[in-house]
Amino acid sequence: MAAVSSLAMNKFISVVRLSRVMSALSLLVIVCGCTKVIDVNRVENLSPNEGIAFGRINVKVNGQDQNWGTAGYLQHLKRTSAGGQGEFRLFVQSITTNEIMLSQLIEDGSFAWGLPFGKYEILSFEWKWYEVLVYKYLRGQIHAQFEISPTCRICYLGTMIIDLDKEHSRHKNIQVLDEETEATRKLQQISPGLSVNIGKQLVQVEKPL
């Protein structure tokens, strides 16, 4: 009887564990399925109610500027598993619709986001890298707001510098610089016709980290 009870209990525990795993996987699918990925260089074929937010996210790790390589999940995964700097993602929320989006950094962190008119907030970041058979994560809050509108349809947001300490797995501070000339030059390389009527709206970080 004791053996039967023990067997029944083990089966019950296994079912509970499986249920928890399936619930976690379901939640992961829901989050991934509902989170829109922002194309970092989508500047063509915009509708009349869309604009462009452009600038750069300059990540410094232990004082060194990072380059995240070319776009593509598999390339990021390969770099991560090889022990490189891994993958850096930003989470952006539309204040107008409450939709949460994400954007991966590529190369030097320059971006040109094609977005509908409205108010937005760069909520947070997530940095994932691989080290000694273990994935490591570092997350931090940003809370920097901007707005895309007819009066600022092609809108420069600035260069946001995020300073990270890899050894202690912490973020130290965030600052915003005005590097409009260089950012505009890069925007022209993507689409030469976008160099006119550029507005400026340097993002403001809510408070230092």
Strand runs (DSSP E) across 71-203, as ranges?
87-94, 100-104, 110-116, 118-131, 134-148, 154-165, 170-177, 198-200
Whether residue 28 is found in the same domain as residue 105 = no
- The residue among 55 and 192 whose pLDDT is bigger is 55
Whether residue 146 is found in the same domain as residue 194 = yes
pLDDT digits (tens, 9 = 90+) for 8-31: 444 433 433 433 333 333 333 333
Q: How confident is the model at residue 95 (pLDDT cuts 50, 70, 90)?
A: very high
Whether residue 64 is found in the same domain as residue 155 = yes
Whether residue 25 is found in the same domain as residue 93 = no
Whether residue 45 is found in the same domain as residue 89 = yes
> Which positions ≥6 away from 195 have C-beta within 8 Å?
184, 187, 188
Whether residue 12 is found in the same domain as residue 52 = no
List the domain range (segments joined by +) for residue 2: 1-34
Total number of domains in the chain: 2
Residue found under tokens 């202690």: 168
Q: Which residues pair with 111 in a beta bridge?
A: 55
